[in-house]
Every structure is written in structure tokens, then in C-alpha cells.
């Protein structure tokens, strides 16, 4: 009969250690055992290497990036970095980079494209320069790309249309040139498209496919042409300081607008009553264009608070129905071609609800209504450079009027 073999002490030790490790894996949370994916760490290292060390202040987010600790597990380190909670037996991934505005000076590393789980990339108000790396457009899970107020150059790559999850694009206040990608409407999830204060040129492509878009800001560029098709979901539209022209009647469909700014362009024709009576509209700026008329109909319940139509060719009498806009506070109609008397109701509104009224540099005539002379509160406004009989002791009458000859010639011209 064969003798039983006794387990050696070494094999018993191996068995005990195996049981201990198994028990440890069941008790200790997987997040403690896991670490950040190595390629994510390398990408973060490359990002900070691309920043001038002298621009990283001791109180900045980047000063806390200490690679002796794991980026997703260190306490009080890697500010501006958010990570995913890993599943069991998986590594943590970097999902957000949202840096502070500490004035970082440098370039955005190409290796940012290796952060394939990234959903937010925000580097606002720094001094990053050079083109936006093409690798950014490999980040298919990106929902927010915000690089505003830097010194980025180059153009907006057509590859941006591959980022189907994007909800916000903010590239404002950079030096980006070229055209807006014609297929940008493919980004159907977009709610904010902010490209203002750059060097963009060309025509604005059709954007009506962006059916979720709420904010469109393209001001201070070199865009030209007619208004494109725009999505009716828009609440903020800013196209100021461009070379856009034609009629603004396509805006009549944008009934959810709260703020409209098309100032400093070449638009012409009529500012229709549809725009002034949008249910939610609060601010309208159509100044410094070539409009010849503005339709103001009687309304109730309007939310309009500010109307700026300075520097156009608006003619005829001042719109009496402006007084029916019960929430209106600030009116600027200076530097147009309005003529005739100032409505008495304007004086009553200044006494009660209007905060400012600028009518200078028109051809208004007649005696200033007595309501203006009874105003007791401080108001902002000006009636100078018209053809008015305006008492100097009235605050709003400060400044000179046009010479009589200029007023007479204007009146004769209007009769022809």
C-alpha cells in the first residue's frame, strides 16, 4: 500500500497566498486596484510638456499635475481632469479636461487625440496658439469643444463633422480663418455654435439641419452674402460686424428668438413687425445697416426691452406704437431720417418706464412736447442735431440743432 504524500510547506504557502488574493479581490473595491490607462497618462504628460513652464503659476490647475501619482486617483492633484469610474478589472479613463484661465502659453499637443473617451475639452481664456490639431477630430465622444479666447490659427477642419456627439462648439476670440465647413449641419446634436471674433470669410452655409441649435454667434468676422436657412429653434442670433446683405425676412420664422443682433452689416429693406413681436424677444439690434423702414404695430404683452436701430435710413414719422411695448426700456433711433413731431406719449413713457431715448441726428421738427419738460427723474438721451425748438434748460435738449437751411432743404426734399 502506497504511503500518502504530505503537502510540502512551500505548496501550502502558495495555496494560502492564492486564497488571500482571491479574498482581497472580493473585498477591496476595484477602483482601488485599477489605474489610469497608460496612453491617457502619456497624453496628459504631452499636454503639459507643450505648455511653457514659466506660464504655469503655483496656484494654477496645471501646477497640480503630479505624475508621481495616478491622474485619476490622486487626492488634490490633476485639477481640471475628470475620470470615468472603471468597471471591474478595467482601467480609469480621462473623460474631461477643463482648464482654468491662468494664461497658459503653448500649443495643444497632438496626443490629445489619444484620449478617446474624452467628452469635454475646454481651454478657454489662455494663450494656446497654432492650429487646432487634426487629432482632436478623432475624439468621437466629444460633446463640448471650447477653445475660446486663445490664439489658435488655421481653419476649421471639415473633419469636425465627424464628431456627431458635439453639443457645444466655442472657438470665439481666436485668429481662425477660412470658411465655415459647408456640412456643419451634420452635427445634429449642436445646441451652441459660437465662432465670433475670428477671421472667417465666405458665405454662411445652410444651418437649418441643426434643429436643436439655440445659440448662433458669428459676429466680428468677414462673412458676406445673404442670410442662409436657419433653424427655428434659435434663441440667440448674433451676426454683427460682417458684410452680410439683402433682406432679413428669413428671420421671420425664428419665433423663439430672445436676442437678435445683426448690426454693422449691409442689410436693407424693412425691419418687419414679425421680428418686433416675437413672443420671447427681449433685445433687437439692427443698427448701422441700410434699412429704410421699421414696422411697429400695436401690441400687448411684449417682452421687448431694448431696440437699437441707429445709423440706418429710416424715414417718416417716429413710430407711435413703440409706446405700447410695455417692457421697453431703451430706444436708440439716432442718425436716421425721421421727420415731423415727437409724439407726446414718448415724454410720458420717459417719465414712467423708459430709461433712455436717443433721437439725435434726425430731422425732427416742431416744439418739444411739454411732457418732456415735466420729467423729474434722471434719464439718458439726446435730441440734438434735429430741427427742434428745444429749451436748453431741459436735460435731454443739450447740444445744438441743425441749421435752418439744412432743415428747409430736407423738408423740400421730402415733398418732391
Domains of the chain, residue spans: 100-365
On the question of pLDDT at 24 being above 90, the answer is no
- Calculate the CA dihedral of residues 267, 272, 278, 280 and round it to 10 degrees: 40
Whole-number pLDDT of residue 5: 44
Q: Which three cell numbers stand for residue 102?
A: 491662468
- Report the pLDDT value the prediction gives residue 89, as an integer from 0 to 100: 72
Judge whether residue 109 has pLDDT over 70: yes
Instruction: Kindly indicate the confidence band of residue 394, based on its pLDDT and cuts at 50, 70 and 90.
Output: confident
Residue 7 predicted with pLDDT over 80:
no
Mean predicted confidence (pLDDT) in 246-266? 97
pLDDT of residue 412: 57
Retrieve residue 49's grid coordinates: 510638456
At 260 the pLDDT is: 98
pLDDT at 22 over 60: no
Is it the case that residue 395 has pLDDT exceeding 90? no
pLDDT at 134 over 80: yes
Domain 100-365: state its class: alpha beta
pLDDT recorded at residue 414: 55
pLDDT at 9 over 90: no
Average pLDDT over the chain, rounded to an integer: 91
The model carries a pTM of: 0.90
Task: Between 2 and 182, name the one with better pLDDT.
Answer: 182
> What is the pLDDT at residue 34?
44
Distance CA 246, CA 70 (A): 58
**Rounded to the nearest 5°, which phi and psi values hold at 192?**
-135, 120
C-alpha cell at 142: 466629444
Taking a C-beta distance cutoff of 8 angstroms, is the pair 263, 242 a contact?
Answer: no
- Give me the mean pLDDT over the 70-94 stretch: 88
Amino acid at each position: 500500500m502506497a504511503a500518502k504524500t504530505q503537502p510540502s510547506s512551500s505548496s501550502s504557502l502558495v495555496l494560502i497566498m492564492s486564497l488571500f488574493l482571491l479574498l482581497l479581490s472580493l473585498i477591496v473595491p476595484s477602483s482601488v486596484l485599477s489605474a489610469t490607462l497608460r496612453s491617457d497618462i502619456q497624453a496628459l504628460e504631452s499636454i503639459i510638456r507643450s505648455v511653457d513652464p514659466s506660464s504655469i503659476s503655483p496656484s494654477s490647475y496645471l501646477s497640480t499635475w503630479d505624475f508621481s501619482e495616478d491622474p485619476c486617483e490622486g487626492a488634490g492633484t490633476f485639477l481640471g481632469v475628470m475620470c470615468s469610474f472603471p468597471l471591474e478589472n478595467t482601467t480609469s479613463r480621462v473623460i474631461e479636461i477643463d482648464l482654468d484661465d491662468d494664461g497658459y502659453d503653448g500649443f495643444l499637443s497632438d496626443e490629445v487625440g489619444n484620449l478617446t473617451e474624452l467628452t469635454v475639452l475646454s481651454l478657454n481664456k489662455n494663450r494656446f496658439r497654432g492650429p487646432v490639431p487634426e487629432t482632436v477630430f478623432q475624439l468621437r465622444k466629444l460633446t463640448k469643444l471650447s477653445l475660446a479666447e486663445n490664439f489658435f490659427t488655421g481653419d476649421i477642419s471639415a473633419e469636425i463633422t465627424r464628431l456627431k456627439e458635439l453639443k457645444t462648439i466655442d472657438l470665439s476670440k481666436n485668429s481662425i480663418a477660412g470658411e465655415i465647413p459647408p456640412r456643419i449641419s451634420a452635427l445634429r446634436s449642436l445646441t451652441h455654435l459660437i465662432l465670433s471674433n475670428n477671421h472667417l470669410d465666405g458665405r454662411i452655409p445652410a444651418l437649418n439641419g441643426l434643429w436643436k441649435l439655440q445659440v448662433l454667434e458669428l459676429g466680428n468676422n468677414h462673412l458676406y452674402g445673404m442670410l442662409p436657412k436657419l433653424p427655428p429653434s434659435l434663441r440667440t442670433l448674433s451676426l454683427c460686424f460682417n458684410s452680410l446683405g439683402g433682406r432679413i425676412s428669413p428671420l421671420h420664422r425664428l419665433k423663439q428668438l430672445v436676442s437678435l443682433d445683426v448690426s454693422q452689416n449691409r442689410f436693407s429693406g424693412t425691419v418687419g413687425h414679425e421680428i418686433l413681436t416675437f413672443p420671447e424677444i427681449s433685445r433687437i439690434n439692427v443698427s448701422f445697416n441700410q434699412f429704410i423702414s421699421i414696422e411697429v404695430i400695436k401690441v400687448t404683452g411684449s417682452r421687448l426691452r431694448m431696440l437699437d436701430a441707429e445709423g440706418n435710413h429710416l424715414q417718416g414719422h417716429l413710430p407711435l406704437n413703440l409706446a405700447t411695448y410695455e417692457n421697453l426700456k431703451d430706444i436708440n433711433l439716432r442718425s436716421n431720417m425721421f421727420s415731423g413731431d415727437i409724439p407726446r406719449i414718448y415724454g410720458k413713457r420717459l417719465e414712467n418706464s423708459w430709461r433712455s431715448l436717443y433721437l439725435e441726428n434726425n430731422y425732427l421738427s416742431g416744439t418739444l412736447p411739454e411732457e418732456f419738460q415735466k420729467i423729474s427723474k434722471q434719464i439718458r438721451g439726446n435730441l440734438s442735431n434735429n430741427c427742434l425748438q428745444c429749451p436748453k434748460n431741459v436735460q435731454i435738449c443739450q447740444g445744438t440743432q441743425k441749421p435752418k437751411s439744412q432743415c428747409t432743404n430736407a423738408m423740400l426734399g421730402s415733398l418732391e
